[in-house]
Amino acid sequence: MRTPIRSTVCAISTVLVLGAATACEPPPPPPVLVVTTTAVGPDSSPGDGICEMTPDAGDCSLEAALQEGNALGRAAVSLADSGYSVPAVTITGEISVTGVRPVLGAPGTTLSGGPIDVGADGRLVLDTLTMNGGGMSVDGVLDVRRSYLFWTQGLMPSIPTVDVNVGGTALFQNTILPGYTSAAPALHNSGVVVLHHTTVFASPTGGQALHNEGVVHSVASYRASCSGTPLVSYGYNAGPAATCGLDDPTDVASPTGLMINGSPRWYFFMYTLSASSPMTDAVPAGVHGCGTTVTDDLLLRARPFDGDGDGTAACDIGALEEAPYVP
């Protein structure tokens, strides 16, 4: 019998991040760095606990906040509902970056630029962000929640959206990872990956959604295509069964019902489900965190929800819930 996915996430997070096999207790709160400007510029004095490009000016840029967090070893970076440029950066500390929820017709907090590397000793948490840049490389720990990661405009046409290297760990929850080019998959893994209510797509021009050379633990997630080592399914996954290794009785092979939503919404709505899709309401309430540890989707809409209208609320497979949008 396979270990429940929550235990797997807990074990990975505990051993690799905290270095001890105890319960997943949160560490003391890190210093909070509030980004006050969309301008680009370095921190004036990294490590002094003050995020600002100009001494005594309070002009905290995202670049300065990341530098300060690396220097301090820990930081919680807070962003507003704006667009920010992130420089090419290597994360060496434990840093979280939290944005603002998308609204109807707008992407919320957006980041562009990069690439972003998570160093072997680094831990990066991304929450409620739309990212468009030059790719991510992971040697440490990457934890992505309620986010949409994509690389466009030919910035880095031959690299994956996220590349998890040997020794690296990445956890994705309520997140969409679309590919940009047929030359590289959306997600390339040589380390350890956990997919939880996550949607992974290949580029419209071809290629793979997921190429795995390591270990991928997956639950309640959809990937359009797979290559390499089959993933480990904990149930309620969807995609091509043979190439993705979907062998749990609750898995959905080659599902239909993905649709491009024609209403005037932002681009990630193209990955919503129809009410008749076998992925809609597939995960019963209380199973794999549905309604307990997983209480919302990428757009912070409540989970579970009765998307198929049968009178019973449940969770959809993937990052988005087939639920009415509430601004």
Reported as a single tens digit per residue, the pLDDT across 203-227 is: 766 678 899 999 999 999 998 889 9
Reported as a single tens digit per residue, the pLDDT across 74-114 is: 999 999 988 999 889 999 999 999 999 876 556 689 998 88
In whole numbers, what is the pLDDT of the chain averaged over residues?
84
Residue 140 amino acid letter: G
Residue 74 amino acid letter: R
89-92 LR contacts (CB < 8 Å, sep 24+): 89/63, 89/114, 89/116, 89/117, 90/117, 90/118, 90/119, 90/122, 91/66, 91/116, 91/117, 91/118, 91/119, 91/122, 91/123, 91/124, 91/140, 92/119, 92/121, 92/122
Output phi, psi for 173, to 5 deg: -140, 130
The residue whose two tokens read 């497979």 is: 317
Reported as a single tens digit per residue, the pLDDT across 231-251 is: 999 999 998 888 898 999 999
Please report the pLDDT score of residue 157 as a whole number.
58
